[in-house]
Structure 1
Amino acid sequence: ENEKVNFAYYFFFVLSIQFLGFGLAGILRRFLVWPCEVIWPQNLPLIAVLRTFHDRQSTITEKSYGNRANSLKERLINNRLLFFIVISILSFVYEWFPLYIMPILAYFSWMCWISPKNNALAQLTAVRGIAIAGGGLTLDWYEVTRYLGSPLILPGWALINIGFGFVLIVWFIVPIVYGTNIRDFTTLPIGGQVSTDFTALSLVTAFISFASITAVFVHTLLYHGIDIWQQFRTKTLENMGNDMHARMISLYKTVPDWCYLELFSLALIVACVTCDHAQWLSWYYVLLSLFIGALFTLPFGLVSSITGQLLHNLSVYYLCLLIGQSLSLQKSAKQIYTFIALGYIVYVQTLVLIQDMKLAHYIKIGPRPLFAAQCLAGFVCSTFSIGIRYFYIQSGYKKDLWSIFNNTKLGWTLLNDYNGFFDGTNLSNRDLLWAFILGAFIPIPSWILSRFKRFHWLNKLHWPLIFVTIGWMPSIVPAGALFTWLAIGLIVYFSFGKYSWRQRHVYLVSAGLDLGLNITIIIVSTALKNKSVYFPQWWANQNQNTTVYDSCQKAVQTW
């Protein structure tokens, strides 16, 4: 009987998270779905694939004369379906090397091979160092896009912003901080992943992660404040001006706001009752965590919808963890992670559902069928998700296959690092709170200067985008992976941006690479590695018992 009660707790908790995000997404759709300025570039590859399946011929020449009139190259460029299939096959074949045959490609610190015993060279050039001059690359599409997504879909100005931030912060500020030897940094790797100690890179990225929290609010107020006020006064899609998509979708029957409000209220009651009755979290902490998640949804949602980044950013996660620690919730693992789930996961769930709403907006799915489909999908996915997890837990299966951020390690490491933020017992960590002041101030000078015609280009300077993207390092995204991600995006943008075929095919390239990768992952993980079938050992896969094959181990070793 006890096990049934526990399952009910888990089921209603997961279900409430789904529908809290759904209700909040519906409330915010006038800001993050209806305006034409919110593009959501993440949807464009899927739209390109759907269009390809329905319209193979893309030029007048092909429609008039057929493929026989074209050369092989022209046929490949003109036939989008053929192009997509070829890219998918090439990706499928190539990914066998970094995922199975030659894992060393995933962390390819080629410059370290020049002098394998040189500590300084390893720290400065390796993938898990700071990857100066591209000395460490990630030649695996999975590692490149695992958390940051595809670099091919981002606007050029967004890539330039991130590139500027990477050079400024990682290649200039981090070595300066390392050289000052604060906290005996010189006895640790400059950018390696060390259990509970701050390295120079992790300290700087933690600082800018906190800075992004206030920077995104100030940036949103300065650059989008007037637009938000206008959208707040907009009641229906008919008042959205001359946007083609809004005019067409307004012909469908809409879903009233009260439907989303009732759904959100019901899910809130379920969450409060479940958490309080299960003694996971008091109801007032439930309200606090939801307030934190809802507070960040609009500003970070605006940035994500325009730049294609920040959907799963760590700033909100860190803040929920920090506030939970300050409330002494870390005494219970269930309490601290319940607080994070209701704050961070609801925030992410809301943005994911808003992104889906924008996809439906583009491909003209009516609001009411979409509402029904998302409700049904939320219920079914919650049921299967908690059912599978509950089955594994009850069967004694210990392997954590569904963890994305490795929450236990990251969370408790963070609690150890940030212990004493508010009680004054650890002033060196408490100094990081100056990041909030820096984040609130730094967007203001560029905004003021951008008012002048001579400095109008500063309109494109986006500090929240820079801070949050760089903040992934080094715990989640190594410096070499981010450098490779940037290099791919910028090379494609500057090399092929002026050609019309690139505009038509770049999203198909992104989708094809993802499709080939996913097929390879399924085969390798289920049919081979799950059965303990490994590729014969050779120099490029000597470490069979590790998940990271880095050719430069000195980059992460303590000196």
Structure 2
Amino acid sequence: MNHIKSVLSADAPVTEKVLLDVGQERSFINSSDDNLNLEDKKRGLEVNVFAARSDYLLGSQLSHEVIEDEYAGIVVEDDSAYPEVRAAVPSSDDPTLPQNTVRMWVIGMLMATVGSGLNLLFSLHSPSIVLSAFVTSILAWPIGKAWDKVMPDVKLFGRFGGPSLNPSPFNLKEHCLIQIMANVSFGGGEAYATDIFLAMNNYFEADFGWGFDIVTILATQCIGFALAGLVKDILITPASMIWPSNLVTCTFLTNLHINENHMANGWKISRLKFFFMVFIIGFVYYWFPGFIFQALSYFAWVTWIRPDNVIINQIFGASTGLGIIPLTFDWNQIAGYVGSPLVPPVSTIFSILLSMIMIFWVTVPAIHYSNVWFGKYLPISDSGSYDRFQQSYNVSKIVTPNLSFDIDAYKSYSPLYLPATFVISYGMSFASNTATLVHAGLFHGKEITGAFRNVKKEQEDIHNRLMKNYRDVPHWWYGIVFLVFFGLAIAGIRAWNTEMPVWALIFALVIAGVFLVPIGIICAVTSISVGLNVLTEFIIGYILPGKPIAMMFFKTFGYITNHQAVTYAQDMKLGHYMKIAPRLMFSAQFIATVWSSVVQVCVLKWAQGNITDVCDAHQKSHFTCPNARVFFNAAIIWGVIGPQRMFSSGQLYSKVLWFFLIGASLPLINWLVLKKWPKSPIKYLNWPVFFSGTGLIPPATPYNYGSYCMVGITFGYFIKRKWFHWWTKYNYSLSAALDISLAWSSLMIFFCLTLTNTNAPNWWGNTVIDTIDYEGTAIQSILNDGESFGLTKW
């Protein structure tokens, strides 16, 4: 976008009328305040003046306009075309700032070690506690400042030379690199391969040993890194690839190191002070919903009135119900599974809310209460799988000693039954995959093909121009990484008895690569990542039936390679925003990834040996391994029994396959309607987000997503419209502070109370939640001993 000159007067009120196309919404923002000084006027205009076509994801051509004021005196400098980016990312750079320092490497590796280990540990907890990289980043800041004060400015190797131990004050770029090392180590949760190990060790009773674990986790973590680098010209350098989650990180880091202060709707407090105030309050407060007063967390108050009423607990329950009134006072319930609702564009949250209402609050009850899939014998919302005797499915009864499927045992035991939300979640995943491909092809076909043909001719923004001061990473570096870890993956699947052929590994990686660009584009604009987990399970279930270990590997290499590539690309964009030298970024990401993988294997082995009854459904400290349970159930469905006995024609869940067609058709309908009526409101409805936005159900619940949407709409729509300058200044700081306070408070509760076997106080605030919803027994028809339900033939 060319420079835009806007004029203001120093002696008159500010009146700005700007049409923003931000987050696929159009809204007039008007502000008038006689008390603002000239700098405040300038800054307010700079935040709002650049209206941009950020409806990129939808493919429509919304216009934008800037109505200039009649005053003179202010020129807005060159910056990003996107208001969100302008509000969060500095538009200047100091190439002389030291980046590749001993301090950065020491603190970064320390944080990667601690963070990845704790995140693996917390992933075993229910609800899962995901420590965001902000947790270690906030700790890195005082450590870096202390390093400034204590460490002398001497060479690392004394008189033999080497880098200086303290070359300059701890700076923004060092801190950003530490943040990136934390992101690749544990920012998205535990390494996905650890779920394979837990499922094998705890449920299939198979342990291939340390060597297998190390080789597997390295291969699954690093191949995605290579793919991200190979498509960086498409997902990273274009200005339209915003990556909204990075804006929180940029705001957080600049809060600490720059901390410019200005008036925002009457608020004078700096963002740094605001951050620390929220952090302290949040840290103290979480001890109540997390330990002292747990009813604040599971605030399904309607179930407290009738704790034994099945229908009430199914409709309003927070644990195994639909959470129709999603009221909670626990940030962990709101953001624990899904992430902070303060980050995605509000149009994304509206799409998720529409999905919640239409699918999980309308369709699921209709299916469940009509007993289509024998719903009256099952919980309405649960991540478990059941047999015909209403017990958890015992997979050991249908597999041989070498973990292959035993068809005769299966026929004498039971088919597998799933709660309605579990089945529908599979259908939603089917639809999201086809919707993503069709949507990307129809709305972004020209951009994608053009990017592949000639990426170097794309129009540059200020950040691209500033990055020309640094040497780029050649693509062949990433190619070598791919070949090395592809070889390691082959060694892992062939040296141990995984029953997965090499051609299946190649097929999985092809799937990951084909979906990388369309999924990356959607995530770069909406913060919603479309998962390939169910699609890969579906495919391998047909081509290699009855082999659960092979299924888990195929799923991991097909899904997690794609997901990791998107995650690494997001971190590369963060480095792009913060002007990190690309070659140093390559080293930091790669080394931290390899090291954290080894750390997570070590912590997993420690947890399995030291936490009593770990992964048991009734573990007293809630270390029930929710993610591993879902992984294991998926292995039963797709890898043991197989989709042909679950979803093929004539089988119980065969109608779920219609979701493939539904997902492909709806984006086409959108495209045709917009061709005829370009201004139709349908342009705001994004079908990939609709189908994939609730993709974490299960293990997340509708209660989690409902509260997530309520908070996201409150801040992203109402507060943003009414107090735009406050939202611009404080929104991302609030998000970071809530995440970090939750993480540190959870950490203290774990070490001070959980490990010492200290029980929560026995009073009404902790016992009122003991409903049949919380206990997982909200089932309409309870069988007596020896009774069974369901199909007569299978």
Q: Same fold (TM over 0.5)?
A: yes
Q: How far did residue 468 of structure 1 move?
A: 1.1
SS in 1 for 2:459: coil
- Following the alignment from structure 1 to structure 2, what is the Cα–Cα distance between the partners of residues 43 and 118? 45
Match in the other structure for 1:66 = none
Match in the other structure for 1:482 = 705
Say which of 11, 15, 23 aligns to 2:218: 15
SS in 2 for 1:557: coil
Q: How far did residue 393 of structure 1 move?
A: 6.2
CA distances 1:190-209 after superposition (whole Å, capped 9, x unpaired):
33555333333333232122
CA distances 1:422-449 after superposition (whole Å, capped 9, x unpaired):
8958523233222211111111111211
More off after superposition, 247-256 vs 379-388: 379-388
Change (3 A) 1:489 1:556: farther
Higher helix proportion (structure 1 or 2): 1
Say which of 180, 199, 203 aligns to 2:370: 180
Q: Which amino acid aligns with 1:131?
A: G
- Following the alignment from structure 2 to structure 1, what is the Cα–Cα distance between the partners of residues 611 and 775? 37
Conserved 8 A contact 1:92-1:516: yes
More off after superposition, 142-151 vs 293-302: 293-302
Q: Which aligned pairs between 1:196-345 and structure 2 lie closer than 5 A? A: 196=386, 197-236=417-456, 239-280=457-498, 281-310=500-529, 315-328=531-544, 330-331=546-547, 333-345=548-560
- Following the alignment from structure 1 to structure 2, what is the Cα–Cα distance between the partners of residues 542 and 176? 32
Q: Which amino acid aligns with 1:125?
A: F
- Following the alignment from structure 1 to structure 2, what is the Cα–Cα distance between the partners of residues 39 and 392? 38
What residue ranges of structure 1 are gaps of 5+ in the alignment? 63-69
1:364 and 2:579 are equivalent in the alignment? yes
Say which of 672, 677, 687 aligns to 1:463: 687
SS in 2 for 1:279: coil
- Following the alignment from structure 2 to structure 1, what is the Cα–Cα distance between the partners of residues 754 and 267? 40
Say which of 148, 155, 159 aligns to 2:349: 159
Say which of 130, 139, 142 aligns to 2:329: 139
Conserved 8 A contact 2:276-2:737: yes
Change (3 A) 1:510 1:255: same
- Following the alignment from structure 2 to structure 1, what is the Cα–Cα distance between the partners of residues 732 and 330? 19
Match in the other structure for 1:47 = 250
Say which of 717, 735, 742 aligns to 1:510: 735
- Following the alignment from structure 1 to structure 2, what is the Cα–Cα distance between the partners of residues 461 and 15? 39
Conserved 8 A contact 1:109-1:552: no
Q: How far did residue 419 of structure 1 move?
A: 4.3
Say which of 472, 478, 482 aligns to 2:696: 472
Match in the other structure for 2:761 = 536
Q: How far did residue 510 of structure 1 move?
A: 0.2
Conserved 8 A contact 1:162-1:466: yes
- Following the alignment from structure 1 to structure 2, what is the Cα–Cα distance between the partners of residues 142 and 290? 34
More off after superposition, 341-350 vs 149-158: 341-350
Q: How far did residue 48 of structure 1 move?
A: 0.8
Q: Which amino acid aligns with 1:303?
A: I
Q: How far did residue 467 of structure 1 move?
A: 0.8
CA distances 1:11-33 after superposition (whole Å, capped 9, x unpaired):
23322222211110101112211
Match in the other structure for 2:628 = 406
- Following the alignment from structure 1 to structure 2, what is the Cα–Cα distance between the partners of residues 212 and 552? 30
More off after superposition, 301-310 vs 340-349: 340-349
TM-score scaled by length of structure 2: 0.62
- Following the alignment from structure 2 to structure 1, what is the Cα–Cα distance between the partners of residues 252 and 260? 13
- Following the alignment from structure 1 to structure 2, what is the Cα–Cα distance between the partners of residues 417 and 151? 37
Q: How far did residue 514 of structure 1 move?
A: 0.5
SS in 2 for 1:531: coil
Change (3 A) 1:330 1:364: farther
Conserved 8 A contact 1:105-1:140: yes
Conserved 8 A contact 1:42-1:153: yes
Relative contact order, higher structure (CA 8 A, sep 6+): 1
Say which of 291, 295, 303 aligns to 1:104: 295
- Following the alignment from structure 2 to structure 1, what is the Cα–Cα distance between the partners of residues 300 and 647? 42
- Following the alignment from structure 1 to structure 2, what is the Cα–Cα distance between the partners of residues 364 and 293? 29
Conserved 8 A contact 2:364-2:424: yes
Conserved 8 A contact 2:343-2:735: yes
Say which of 758, 767, 778 aligns to 1:557: 778
Match in the other structure for 1:492 = 715
Change (3 A) 1:467 1:417: farther
Change (3 A) 1:521 1:423: closer
Match in the other structure for 2:752 = 527
What residue ranges of structure 2 are gaps of 5+ in the alignment? 1-207, 387-416, 616-622, 781-794
Match in the other structure for 1:436 = 660
Match in the other structure for 1:67 = none
Q: How far did residue 523 of structure 1 move?
A: 0.3
Match in the other structure for 2:160 = none
SS in 1 for 2:717: helix
Conserved 8 A contact 1:215-1:443: yes
Q: How far did residue 516 of structure 1 move?
A: 0.5
Change (3 A) 1:12 1:472: closer
Conserved 8 A contact 2:376-2:779: no
Q: Which amino acid aligns with 1:74?
A: W
- Following the alignment from structure 2 to structure 1, what is the Cα–Cα distance between the partners of residues 465 and 301? 54
- Following the alignment from structure 1 to structure 2, what is the Cα–Cα distance between the partners of residues 360 and 406? 32
Q: How far did residue 47 of structure 1 move?
A: 1.1
CA distances 1:326-378 after superposition (whole Å, capped 9, x unpaired):
234643x5333222222222222212111110110111102111111112212
Q: Percent identity at matched positions?
A: 26
CA distances 1:367-399 after superposition (whole Å, capped 9, x unpaired):
111111112212222232334445666899873
- Following the alignment from structure 1 to structure 2, what is the Cα–Cα distance between the partners of residues 455 and 520? 48
Q: How far did residue 307 of structure 1 move?
A: 0.7
Q: Which amino acid aligns with 2:726?
A: W
Q: How far did residue 402 of structure 1 move?
A: 10
Change (3 A) 1:337 1:190: closer
Q: How far did residue 487 of structure 1 move?
A: 0.4
Change (3 A) 1:201 1:291: same
- Following the alignment from structure 1 to structure 2, what is the Cα–Cα distance between the partners of residues 396 and 489? 36
Conserved 8 A contact 1:126-1:552: yes
Change (3 A) 1:184 1:508: same
SS in 2 for 1:405: helix
Match in the other structure for 1:121 = 312
Conserved 8 A contact 1:104-1:551: no
- Following the alignment from structure 2 to structure 1, what is the Cα–Cα distance between the partners of residues 290 and 611? 29
What RMSD, in angstroms, separates the aligned Cα atoms of the two structures? 2.9
CA distances 1:127-181 after superposition (whole Å, capped 9, x unpaired):
232233x2x4333211221221111111111111112222222232223323433
- Following the alignment from structure 2 to structure 1, what is the Cα–Cα distance between the partners of residues 702 and 532? 21
Q: How far did residue 550 of structure 1 move?
A: 5.7
Conserved 8 A contact 1:34-1:240: no
Change (3 A) 1:424 1:50: closer
- Following the alignment from structure 2 to structure 1, what is the Cα–Cα distance between the partners of residues 647 and 744? 50
- Following the alignment from structure 2 to structure 1, what is the Cα–Cα distance between the partners of residues 342 and 755? 32
- Following the alignment from structure 1 to structure 2, what is the Cα–Cα distance between the partners of residues 93 and 357? 35
More off after superposition, 507-516 vs 166-175: 166-175
SS in 2 for 1:354: helix
SS in 1 for 2:328: coil
Q: How far did residue 246 of structure 1 move?
A: 1.6
- Following the alignment from structure 2 to structure 1, what is the Cα–Cα distance between the partners of residues 280 and 609? 40
